[in-house]
Structure 1
Amino acid sequence: MDKYLKVLRKEMRPAMGCTEPAASALAGAKAAQLLTGYPTSLEVITSRDMVKNAMGVGLPNCSLKGIQAAVALGASGGDVEKGLSILSDLCPEQIQRASALPVLLSIETEVPSLYIKVIAKNDEGYAIAVISGEHDRFSYLEQHGQVLLSLAVDACGSSLEEEDAQFLGNTSLSELLAWVQSAPQEALDLVLEAKETNMAIAKHAMEHSYGLSVGRIASEPIGKEPSSLSEAFSLASAMAAAASDARMAGCPLPVIINSGSGNQGITLTVPLGVVGSYLKCSDEKLGRALLLSQLIGLALTAKKNRLSALCGAFTAAIGTACGLVYLLDGTLLEMDRAFNTMVGNLTGIICDGAKMTCALKIYSCVEAANLACKLAFRGMSPGNESGIVGKTSKESMDFLSRISHEGMEETDKTILSIMLGKQA
C-alpha cells in the first residue's frame, strides 16, 4: 500500500472526547479486563504530559474530569473494543462505580511523553496494562504475574514513532504536495469523510453553549452564511473554535483525530470545509487541500513529541494555512511563504493541557493561518533574518523541532508545576 495512504488510514480515526482521557480510560478498561471481576483499587503511573492534558478537560456523558476519573470509568465497565471512543457510552452504574473507586496517581519522569500504566487490583490478584507511543497502543500487559505482552517502551516501540516518524519527519512540503496532486480516490474519501464528521460537531456547537462559547460569539457578526471571502475566513476560525468548545466540554459527538489529537483534527479540517464551501470547490479540490493539510500536520508532529509544551493547534494551523493556499489556487511558493509566516508568528504558543481555552488558541491559530494565506498571495513572508524562520519551510520545520525538543523541556515542567500547584 502507498506509504502516505497507510499513515493517513492509521492516524485518522474517530475519538470521543479528548484523546488523553480516552487513552487513560482504555488502559483502565484493559487492566480490568484481565482481572476476574471489577477492581477494588487502581494505581496509575503516567507522564507529566498525560496528566497535564487530562486535568481540566470534561469527559463525555458525565460530569467527571481528570485522568483518575477517566481510568476509573474505563475500569468500571469500559469496552476495550471501542478504542478511543470508549467513553461514548456510559451507564449510571458505571459512573457510580467509578466515582467510588480509589485511584492512586503518580507521575514518572523517565517515560515517553505519551505513557500511562494502570495496575488494577482485587481479591483475586492484579493486572497491568500500559499504553505508550500512540493513544491506543498497548505496549505491556500482565495478568496475575504472567507477562502477556512486552514491547519496547523507552523508544515507544511503535512504527509511528520510529519508521513512520522518520519517513514523515524527513519529508518536505514539495514532496507532500507532489503526492497530494496524484493521490488516489481512497485518500480523498478518507479526508472528506473526516471533514464531514468534524463539521458536524462544529455546526452543533454553533447552536449550543459549551465552554467559553468562543466560536458562537466570534461568529455573531457574520451569521451562518459568509458573503465574502473575508467573512468565510472569519467564519472558518469561529467554527473551528466552536468544535473545540464542544469537545473540551465533553460533548458526546465524535471527532476524527490527527496525530492523536482531536483539536488538531478539527483545526486541519473545519476551516478548509468552511472556505471550500464558500468557494464552491469540487470534492476533488477540497479533498486534495485537506490531504495536504493533514500530511503537513502529521509531518510536523513527527518533528516534535506528540505531547509537548508546544501547542498542537499551532502546528496543525500551519497545515491549514497551506491548505487554504491550495484552495485559492496558490503554488508551492505561496505555501512556503505561508508556512514561514506561521512560524514567525505563533511559535511561542504553549500547551497548558486540554481544557476550554483550547478553543481560544484554535481561533487565534486559524486567524493567523488566514493572515498567512493573504500575505502569501501578496508576495509577503518573513525571511531567514527573522528569528527562528528558515530560508525555506523545510529549514523552518527543523527549527521547530529544535524549539520543541531542546527549548521547551523546562517550560513543560514549569507548566505542570503551576497546574499541580493549583490543585493543592
Structure 2
Amino acid sequence: MDKYLKILIKELRPAMGCTEPAASALAGAKAAELLGLVPTSLEIYTSRDMVKNAMGVGIPNCSLKGIQAAVALGASGGDSEKGLSILSSLTEKQIEKASAIPVSLVIESGVPSLYIKVIAKAGDDVAIATISGEHDRFSFLQYNDTVLRELAVDACGTELEAEDEQFLDSASLADMLMWVEQAPQEAIDLVLSAKETNLAIARHALDHSYGLSVGKIAAEPIGRAPKNLTEAFSLGSAMAAAASDARMAGCPLPVIINSGSGNQGITLTVPIAVVASYLKVDDEQLGKALLLSQLIGLGLTARKDRLSALCGAFTASIGTACGLVYLLGGSLEEMDRAFNTMVGNLTGIICDGAKSTCALKIYSCVEAANLACNLAFRGLSPGSESGIVGKSSMESMDFLSRISHEGMEETDKTILSIMLGKQS
C-alpha cells in the first residue's frame, strides 16, 4: 500500500472525548479483562504529560475527571474492543463501581510522554496493561506470572513503525504536495469522511453551550452563512473552537483525530471545510486541501513528541494555513510563506493540558492561519533573519523540532508542577 495512504488510515481514526482519558480508560479496561473481573484495587504509573492532559478535561457521559477516574471507569466494565471510543457509553452501575475502587497514581520519569501502566489486582491475581507511544498501542500485557505481550516502550517497536516515523520526519512540504496532487481516491474519501464527522460536533456546539462557549459566541455576529471570504475565514475559526468547546466538556460525539489528538483533527479539517463550502469548490479540491493539511500536521508531530509542552493546536494550524492556501489556488511558494509566518507568529504557545481553554487556543491559531494565508498571497512572510524562522519551511520544521525537544523540557515540568500545586 502507498506509504502516505497507510499512515493516513492508521492515524485518522475516531475517538470519543479527549484522547488521554480515553487511552487511560482503555488501559484500565484491558487490565480488568486480563484479570477476568472487576479489580479491587488499581495502580497507575504514568508520564507527567498524560496526567497534565487528563486533569482538567471532561469525561463523556459522566461528571468525573482525571486519569484515575478514567482508568477506574475502563476497569469497571469498559470494552477494550471499542478502542479510543471506549467512553462512548457509560452505565450508572459502571460509574458507581469506578467510584468505589481505590486508585493510586505515580508519575514516572524516564518514560515516553505518552505512557500509562495499569496494575489491576483482585485477591491473589494481578494483571498489567501498558499503553505507550500511541494512544491505543498496548506495549506490555501480563497476567500473574505470564507475559502476554512485550514490545518496545516507544511507538517504534517494529521496523514498519520506525520506517513510518522516519518517513514523516524527513518529508518536506514539496514532497507532501507532490503526493497530494496525485492522491488516490481512497485517501480523498478518507479525509472527506473525517471532515463530516468533525463538522457534526462543530455544528452541534453552535446550538449548545459548552465550556467557555468560545466558538458559539465568536460565530454569533456572522451566522451560519458567511457573506464574504473574510467572514468565511472567521466562521471557520469559530466552528473549530466550538467543536473543541464541546469535546473538552465531554460531549458524547466522536471526533476524527490526527496524531492521537482530537483538537488537532478538528483544527486540520473544520476551518478548511467551512471556507470550501463558501467557495463552493468540488470534493476533489477540498479533499486534496484536507490531505495536505493532515499530512503537515502528522509531519510536524513526527518531529516532536505526541505530547509535549508545545501546543498541538499551533502545529496543526500550520497545516490549516497551508491547506487554505491550496484551497485558494496557491502554489508551493505561497504555502512556504504561510508556514514561515505561522512559525514567526505563534511558536511558543504552551500546552497546559486538555481543558476548556483549548478552544481559545484553537480560535487564536486558526485566526493566525487565516492571516498567514492572506499575507502569503501578497508575497509577504518573515525572512530567516527573524528569530527562529528558517530560510524555508523545511528549515523551520527543524527549528520547531529543536524547540520542542531541547527547549521545552523544563517548561513541561514547570507547567505540571503548577497544575499539581493548585490541586493540593
| 2:214–2:359 CA contact under 8 A, matched in 1 | yes
| 2:132–2:154 CA contact under 8 A, matched in 1 | no
Matches within 5 A, 1:190-209: 190-209=190-209
CA-CA distance at 1:162 after TM superposition = 2.4
Q: 2:35 is paired with a residue of what secondary structure?
A: coil
Residue 319 (structure 1) aligns with: 319
| 1:23–1:131 CA contact under 8 A, matched in 2 | yes
Residue 37 (structure 1) aligns with: 37
Using the alignment, how far apart are the partners of 1:403 and 1:109 within structure 2?
20
Judging changes above 3 Å, is the alpha-carbon distance between structure 1 residues 161 and 407 closer, same or farther for their aligned structure 2 residues?
A: farther
Using the alignment, how far apart are the partners of 1:179 and 1:135 within structure 2?
27
Using the alignment, how far apart are the partners of 2:239 and 2:160 within structure 1?
30
Judging changes above 3 Å, is the alpha-carbon distance between structure 1 residues 178 and 267 closer, same or farther for their aligned structure 2 residues?
A: same
Q: TM-score, normalised by structure 2?
A: 0.99
Give the total of aligned pairs.
424
Matched, 1:309 2:309: yes
Kindly report structure 1 stretches of 4+ aligned residues shifted beyond 3 Å: 158-161
Using the alignment, how far apart are the partners of 1:279 and 1:19 within structure 2?
33
Matched, 1:131 2:149: no
Using the alignment, how far apart are the partners of 1:298 and 1:211 within structure 2?
28
Using the alignment, how far apart are the partners of 2:345 and 2:388 within structure 1?
10
Using the alignment, how far apart are the partners of 1:383 and 1:279 within structure 2?
31
Q: 2:27 is paired with a residue of what secondary structure?
A: helix
Using the alignment, how far apart are the partners of 2:390 and 2:298 within structure 1?
20
CA-CA distance at 1:75 after TM superposition = 0.2
Residue 283 (structure 1) aligns with: 283
Q: 2:415 is paired with a residue of what secondary structure?
A: helix
Residue 350 (structure 2) aligns with: 350
Q: 2:140 is paired with a residue of what secondary structure?
A: strand
Residue 417 (structure 2) aligns with: 417
Q: 1:34 is paired with a residue of what secondary structure?
A: helix
Using the alignment, how far apart are the partners of 1:155 and 1:244 within structure 2?
27
Q: Which 10-residue stretch deviates more, 200-209 or 162-171?
A: 162-171
Residue 70 (structure 2) aligns with: 70
Matched, 1:189 2:189: yes
Residue 369 (structure 1) aligns with: 369
Using the alignment, how far apart are the partners of 1:4 and 1:33 within structure 2?
35
Residue 92 (structure 2) aligns with: 92
CA-CA distance at 1:200 after TM superposition = 0.1
Matches within 5 A, 1:6-405: 6-153=6-153, 157=157, 162-405=162-405
Judging changes above 3 Å, is the alpha-carbon distance between structure 1 residues 396 and 102 closer, same or farther for their aligned structure 2 residues?
A: same
Q: TM-score, normalised by structure 1?
A: 0.99
Judging changes above 3 Å, is the alpha-carbon distance between structure 1 residues 355 and 93 closer, same or farther for their aligned structure 2 residues?
A: same
CA-CA distance at 1:164 after TM superposition = 1.2
Structure 1 gaps, min length 5: none
Deviations 1:377-407 (A, max 9, x none): 0000000000000000000000000000000
Root-mean-square deviation (CA), in Å?
0.9
CA-CA distance at 1:156 after TM superposition = 5.2
Q: 2:234 is paired with a residue of what secondary structure?
A: helix
Q: 2:349 is paired with a residue of what secondary structure?
A: coil
| 1:133–1:161 CA contact under 8 A, matched in 2 | no
Structure 2 gaps, min length 5: none
Q: Which 10-residue stretch deviates more, 160-169 or 56-65?
A: 160-169
Q: Which residue identity does 2:332 align to in structure 1?
A: L
CA-CA distance at 1:155 after TM superposition = 6.6
CA-CA distance at 1:416 after TM superposition = 0.3
CA-CA distance at 1:276 after TM superposition = 0.3
CA-CA distance at 1:154 after TM superposition = 5.4
Q: Which residue identity does 2:407 align to in structure 1?
A: G
Judging changes above 3 Å, is the alpha-carbon distance between structure 1 residues 322 and 148 closer, same or farther for their aligned structure 2 residues?
A: same
Using the alignment, how far apart are the partners of 1:280 and 1:158 within structure 2?
43
